[in-house]
Amino acid sequence: MKNLMTSSVIALTTMAGAAYADINACLITKTDTNPFFVKMKEGATAAAKENGINLSTFAGKIDGDVESQIAAVETCIASGAKGILITPTDSRALTPVISQARDAGALVIALDTPFEPANVADATFATDNFKAGVLIGEWAAAKLGDEAANAKIALLDLNASEISVDYLRNNGFLQGFGIDIKDPTDIGDEDDPRIVGNDVTNGNEEGGRTAMENLMQIDPEINVVYTINEPAAAGAYEALKSVGRENDVMIVSVDGGCPGVQNISEGVIGATSMQFPLLMASLGIDAIKTWAETGAKPRNTEGLDFYNTGVELITDEPIDGIPSLTSAEGLGKCWG
């Protein structure tokens, strides 16, 4: 049995090699722990197999682990990779090593998180995080109607580093809600009296709960809660439940993970903006294949400095004029 499997694996590799002349590619994610990246890896692995590309995958140990990512890029250069798909854990620090990779002839595509500036990479396939924020902001404002003028808003962000995905979603939400965001790259510089405060969650349930408790201590009448992602939203819900306010407060989030979509259907979260990690990964693999075969590079979406892989608003309480999917539809598209 074992022998049989080994020989068929060898056969597969040989066939792939013959057909596509050995295209090596790398996928470097921020971590191996976030289901978003786990899903992205699955998508890339599947697409690579389909296209006969040898894909090596790497990940940082934690968010912000620049060293591991640099080492991974160097390994990819050394192995003669045709293309590198990377979710940069630091938008700026990786620039020199990415230039090296491009000089060595690799197509570099940023997934999910853009470099600063975006043209450090050949292309960026990402969720429009600002748009994701705007969608839930508009939905929340429309849902409240006239009451939006008296809303009391809690903002549950990621962490103290204020990375781009953090401020884009946060400020997108505020703009969608109709609040002047001042500096679009700064969190917490707004002076709208409807904002009760910001706190950090580290993007997990425990942090979401603690942050929600803290903000309720500042104003117990909070009725709108923005969360960086769905685990943080679930934590915030627990905090509200412990004081019996879970039905008076609207929680919105971003991500589109399956547990998050389930939470939409059960009324824990009001609305979430779904993103598509599988699509980013498979588009990335396709682009590498095209580049290897024809030398053509992918183009950006009109008016943006990246290729938009799309966002869908998921909610069971749709609002006229804001296109959305129901949670049942969302469950078919969710990741993780």
Partner 1 sequence: MTTKPGYEQVLDGSDTQVARFETRHTLLKRVQHILHNNPTFVPVIVLILSLAVFWIIAGGRFFSAFNLSLIMQQVSIIGILAAAQSLIIITAGIDLSVAAIMILMSVIMGNLAVHMGVPAPIAIIVGCAGGMLAGAMNGLLITKIKLPPFITTLGTWSIFFALNLWLSGAQSIRSQDIDEHAGLLKFFGNAVNIGGARITFGVILMILIFIVLWYMLNKTAWGRHVYAIGDDMEAAEMSGIRTERTLVSVYMLAGLVCAIAGWASIGRVGSISPQSFYEGNLQSITAVVIGGISLFGGRGSIMGALFGALIVGVFQSGLRMAGVDVLWQVFAIGWLIIIAVAIDQWIRRVSA
Calculate Rg over the CA atoms of the chain.
Answer: 21
| E strands in the chain | 23-29, 53-59, 83-86, 107-111, 123-126, 153-157, 195-200, 224-227, 250-255, 271-274, 307-308, 312-315
Instruction: Tell me which stretch binds partner 1 (CB under 8 A): 9-17, 19-27, 166-174, 193-201.
Output: 193-201
DSSP state of 78: H
Residue 64 interacts with partner 1 (CB under 8 A)? no
Residue 221 interacts with partner 1 (CB under 8 A)? no
- 37 contacts 31 by C-beta, under 8 angstroms: yes
Minimum Å gap between C-beta 175 and partner 1 is 22
Out of 51, 91, 263, 273, which residue is the one contacting partner 1 (CB under 8 A)?
263
Residue 197 interacts with partner 1 (CB under 8 A)? yes
- 276 contacts 251 by C-beta, under 8 angstroms: no
Nearer to partner 1, 18 or 218 (CB): 218
**Helix, strand or coil, per DSSP, at residue 294:** helix
Nearer to partner 1, 52 or 277 (CB): 277
Minimum Å gap between C-beta 99 and partner 1 is 31
Residue 200 interacts with partner 1 (CB under 8 A)? yes
With CB under 8 A, what is the number of residues at the site for partner 1? 38
Residue 310 interacts with partner 1 (CB under 8 A)? no
Instruction: Tell me which stretch binds partner 1 (CB under 8 A): 18-26, 101-109, 201-209, 285-293.
Output: 201-209
Q: Which two tokens stand for residue 97?
A: 């090593």
Instruction: Tell me which stretch binds partner 1 (CB under 8 A): 14-22, 233-241, 303-311, 317-325.
Output: 233-241
Rounded to whole angstroms, the Cα distance separating 39 from 131 reads 22
Nearer to partner 1, 188 or 310 (CB): 188
Q: How many CB atoms lie within 10 A of CB 110?
A: 27
Out of 43, 114, 176, 231, which residue is the one contacting partner 1 (CB under 8 A)?
231
- 178 contacts 151 by C-beta, under 8 angstroms: no
Smallest Cα–Cα separation from 293: which of 107, 41, 110, 120?
107
Residue ranges binding partner 1 (CB under 8 A): 32-35, 38, 62, 159-160, 188, 197, 199-200, 202-207, 209-210, 213-214, 217-218, 231, 234-235, 237-238, 241-242, 257, 259, 262-263, 266, 268, 336
